[in-house]
Homo-oligomer: A and B are copies of this chain.
Amino acid sequence: MGRLSELFRPETVGVVGATDRDGAVGRAILENLRAGFSGEVVPINPTREEVLGLECYPDVTSAPSIDLAVVVVPPPAVLETVREIGEAGTEHVVVITAGFSETGSEGAERERELREIAVEYDLNVVGPNSLGVMSTGVGMNATFGPENAREGSISFMSQSGAFITAVLDWANEQGIGFRDVVSLGNKTVLDETDFVRTWGDDPKTDVIIGYLEGIDDGDEFIAAAREVTDETPIVLVKSGRTDAGAQAASSHTGAIAGSERAYEAGLEQAGVIRADSVQQLFDYARALSGLPEPDADGVAVVTNAGGPGVLTTDAVGDSTLGMAEFTDRTIDALAEAMPEEANVYNPIDAIGDADVERFGEAIEIALADPNVGSAVVVSAPTAVLEYDQLAETVIEKRQAHDKPVVTCLMGGDRARAAEESLREFGVPNYFDPSRAIAGLDALARYRDVRERTIDDPAAFDVNRERARTILERATRRDDNRLGVESMDLLEAYGIPTPDGDIVDDPSRARDVAESIDGDVVLKIVSPDISHKSDIGGVRVGVADEDVYDAYEDVVARARNYQPDATILGVQIQEMLDLEAATETIVGMNRDPQFGPLLLFGLGGIFVEILEDTSVRVAPIGEGEARDMVDEIRAAPLLRGARGRDPADVEAVVETIQRLSQLVTDFPAILELDVNPLVAGPEGVQAIDLRLTVDTDTL
């Protein structure tokens, strides 16, 4: 497969299906290409000898060699055309034509064949059902949209062509420029991961942004994005966040929506900054494309008005940033330079009669403070303040100090002109203080992404073969739901379980109980009975001499509750001291896009009523496992709040990692719950287990 970056930098572009027919897509693309493309444009159409003054070729074979083929032929002709393109040695293809998987089974079959041809000829295929691609560096607009992009450093992918059209129309008016733009279409061959990788390698792309309705391979995406975000920020709108939205997305793209919880965790783990709206997407992108990262979280606010200063301070309070605490030197310098009525603490209120010079002094002094990582200039329009000159001053100070500065020059017309010159020098101006601070916040969040270290998943010394045997043995029962009878699976991966055994007669039950110190717990073992306690299938604190009768009682109750239930036996388990322990839950659900999604929470009401859980896409290392424990709201309880004994958090962290290893080693495990995992002052014990296995995968 040719380097994907060449798709955006071709020397010759062929348009297969080019035409001069009014209103035709094949004409619109040709016109857009002719309008600015620095290379050669080759129309291809067997029914024309010339199109819009360009020599037209009957087919790809007879045309000059082309680097990128744009296909706009009718649906039934696409497959043959793409094959010809492959035969001719062209590596990059954009299929504009719609009528594939988005239209039903016939289209889906056609799309499957398109994928096969792409594999056979090793083709980079964008689409089908794509608006096209743009690359401003070579003046290429290979789309049928009404707008071309301005030159800039933002590369943009979208799963919706309309979204590109809408955004460009607005961005052009705002003077926001792009590097490459791609309409992903049905993502039959090339998807978001491919473009993230390509733009990550492109020195002229400062920010990667995108609108996505789904991610095809979450695992691969996380790996690629983690690498790319070391150098280039990624900001994404992933729609279908809400239940209603997910349903709409699935009906729009025909894709199976993964869970929002998995996207949330996966994108965070990937280092992606997520935006919830078009406005946020560009508010973040504008800051990330022109400003350096802050080296401190303290923000300085410089304003000529108290009210907007307070609003800005609120916005800082809402963000991950904080108000910079000025050094004495800064305060002295401000007191010297500002009038008496000014506020020289942060926010700096240079008061209503501040002119550009006074603003400049305040900005200069603030940016020189080592506690100031970034600054925002917020101004109300006054008779003494020239916004154009203020813009110049801001640009000058920003460059001199190499710290990020954003502005919120409030007002209408008079702010517009200043905004333009600010933009030219990479300083974004925002409509209101909360959006300005959101821009600075995106910079700080990206810095945190770059600075984070992600541990490699630990490779514990486990007994993988034994685990496989247990899974296979269990599934031989022809039931994919397993329970406590498979607790050995946890032991095989080094997760402690209480002493005991599963037995199928009362005498054996007594023998097991006698081998255990103290009283025991009896639990019915049946794949058909899930709420064991409710039906009397659990007996707690049973003395050895009572075990025989208790066995019979527990079995009788189970039989009575459900006569046809499969009863695998009764579990005789060591009785743990739960007084000083905390019940936790660790579990896993396999997401269609991201794979194994680990879950952690405290047991009982914390998970069921308060929904206080943390999730991560496996596999994870120690740091992420510890984050899972720390980020639940009830975490202080594990750490020993309110006079409790602290639980052995390290053992919990290790258990989460061992579970991560287990579910990564066995993709056949579809769901797994250790509930409860009891965390005592020393060590943990898995008390109960349920899992679902895909017996075909095993």
In the bound complex, CA of A621 to CA of B422 (Å)? 55
Q: Once the chains bind, are A610 and B610 in contact (CB under 8 Å)?
A: yes
- On chain B, the residues within 8 Å of A317 by CB distance are 241-245
A609-B641 contact, Cβ under 8 Å, with A162-B305, A166-B308, A311-B278: yes
A414-B634 contact, Cβ under 8 Å, with A162-B307, A248-B310, A311-B239: no
The reply on A116 being an interface residue by CB < 8 A is: no
Q: Once the chains bind, are B609 and A642 in contact (CB under 8 Å)?
A: yes
Identify the stretch in A376-384, A466-474, A502-510, A591-599 within 8 Å (CB) of chain B at 4 or more residues: A376-384
The reply on A205 being an interface residue by CB < 8 A is: no
Q: Once the chains bind, are B146 and A242 in contact (CB under 8 Å)?
A: no
A310-B277 contact, Cβ under 8 Å, with A382-B165, A412-B169, A633-B609: no
Interface bits A304-321 vs B (CB < 8 Å: 1, else 0): 111111110111111000
Q: Once the chains bind, are B305 and A166 in contact (CB under 8 Å)?
A: yes
A432-B313 contact, Cβ under 8 Å, with A160-B308, A608-B642: no
Interface bits A655-694 vs B (CB < 8 Å: 1, else 0): 0000000000000000000000000000000000000000
The reply on A560 being an interface residue by CB < 8 A is: no
The reply on A604 being an interface residue by CB < 8 A is: yes
Interface bits A149-183 vs B (CB < 8 Å: 1, else 0): 00000000011111101110111111000000000
Tell me how many chains of this kind the complex includes. 2
Q: Once the chains bind, are B173 and A277 in contact (CB under 8 Å)?
A: no
Q: Once the chains bind, are B347 and A310 in contact (CB under 8 Å)?
A: no
Q: Once the chains bind, are B158 and A307 in contact (CB under 8 Å)?
A: yes
- On chain B, the residues within 8 Å of A304 by CB distance are 162
A604-B169 contact, Cβ under 8 Å, with A146-B381, A279-B431: no
- Partner of A380 from the list B165, B173, B316 (CB cut-off 8 Å) is B165
Q: Once the chains bind, are A642 and B313 in contact (CB under 8 Å)?
A: no
- On chain B, the residues within 8 Å of A33 by CB distance are none
- Partner of A310 from the list B147, B245, B279 (CB cut-off 8 Å) is B245
Q: From A319, which residue of chain B is reached at the shortest CB distance?
A: B242
A307-B163 contact, Cβ under 8 Å, with A637-B605, A641-B605: yes
Q: Once the chains bind, are A240 and B383 in contact (CB under 8 Å)?
A: no
Interface residues of A in 92-126 (CB under 8 A from B): 103
Interface residues of A in 224-245 (CB under 8 A from B): 237, 239-245
The smallest C-beta distance from A146 to any residue of chain B, in angstroms, reads: 6
Q: Once the chains bind, are A277 and B608 in contact (CB under 8 Å)?
A: no
- On chain B, the residues within 8 Å of A169 by CB distance are 381, 410-415
The smallest C-beta distance from A252 to any residue of chain B, in angstroms, reads: 4
In the bound complex, CA of A239 to CA of B306 (Å)? 11
Interface residues of A in 329-383 (CB under 8 A from B): 341, 343, 345, 347, 349, 352, 380-383
The smallest C-beta distance from A123 to any residue of chain B, in angstroms, reads: 26
In the bound complex, CA of A60 to CA of B491 (Å)? 95
The smallest C-beta distance from A17 to any residue of chain B, in angstroms, reads: 18
- On chain B, the residues within 8 Å of A278 by CB distance are 311, 410, 431-434
Q: Once the chains bind, are B314 and A240 in contact (CB under 8 Å)?
A: yes
A170-B352 contact, Cβ under 8 Å, with A163-B305, A245-B314, A308-B160: no
- Partner of A252 from the list B253, B349, B412 (CB cut-off 8 Å) is B349
**Most interface-central of A237, A241, A243, A433 (chain B CB within 10 A):** A241
In the bound complex, CA of A435 to CA of B383 (Å)? 33
Q: Once the chains bind, are B323 and A163 in contact (CB under 8 Å)?
A: no
- On chain B, the residues within 8 Å of A305 by CB distance are 160-163, 166
In the bound complex, CA of A510 to CA of B166 (Å)? 83
A248-B313 contact, Cβ under 8 Å, with A174-B412, A341-B103, A604-B642: yes
The smallest C-beta distance from A74 to any residue of chain B, in angstroms, reads: 15
- On chain B, the residues within 8 Å of A352 by CB distance are 161-162
The reply on A276 being an interface residue by CB < 8 A is: yes
- On chain B, the residues within 8 Å of A311 by CB distance are 237, 239, 245, 277-278
Q: Once the chains bind, are B637 and A307 in contact (CB under 8 Å)?
A: no
The smallest C-beta distance from A108 to any residue of chain B, in angstroms, reads: 15
The reply on A249 being an interface residue by CB < 8 A is: yes
Q: Once the chains bind, are B242 and A308 in contact (CB under 8 Å)?
A: no
A380-B163 contact, Cβ under 8 Å, with A174-B412, A637-B605: yes
Q: Once the chains bind, are A146 and B383 in contact (CB under 8 Å)?
A: yes
In the bound complex, CA of A349 to CA of B633 (Å)? 41
The reply on A211 being an interface residue by CB < 8 A is: yes
**Most interface-central of A162, A245, A304, A352 (chain B CB within 10 A):** A162
In the bound complex, CA of A15 to CA of B440 (Å)? 45
Q: From A383, which residue of chain B is reached at the shortest CB distance?
A: B146
In the bound complex, CA of A353 to CA of B235 (Å)? 30
Contact sample, A vs B, 21 pairs, CB 8 Å cutoff? A146-B383, A159-B307, A160-B307, A160-B310, A162-B308, A163-B305, A167-B410, A170-B411, A170-B412, A173-B412, A239-B311, A242-B317, A245-B314, A249-B310, A252-B307, A276-B318, A608-B641, A609-B633, A609-B637, A609-B641, A610-B610
Interface residue ranges, A against B (CB under 8 Å): 23, 103, 146-147, 158-163, 165-167, 169-174, 211, 213, 237, 239-245, 247-249, 251-253, 276-279, 304-311, 313-318, 322-323, 341, 343, 345, 347, 349, 352, 380-383, 410-415, 431-435, 534, 604-605, 608-610, 612, 633-634, 636-637, 641-643
Give 6 closest A-B pairs by Cβ, nearest first.
A160-B307, A242-B317, A162-B305, A173-B412, A166-B410, A169-B411
Given contacts A146-B383, A213-B307, A242-B313, 5 further A-B contacts (CB under 8 A): A161-B307, A163-B307, A170-B412, A278-B433, A279-B435
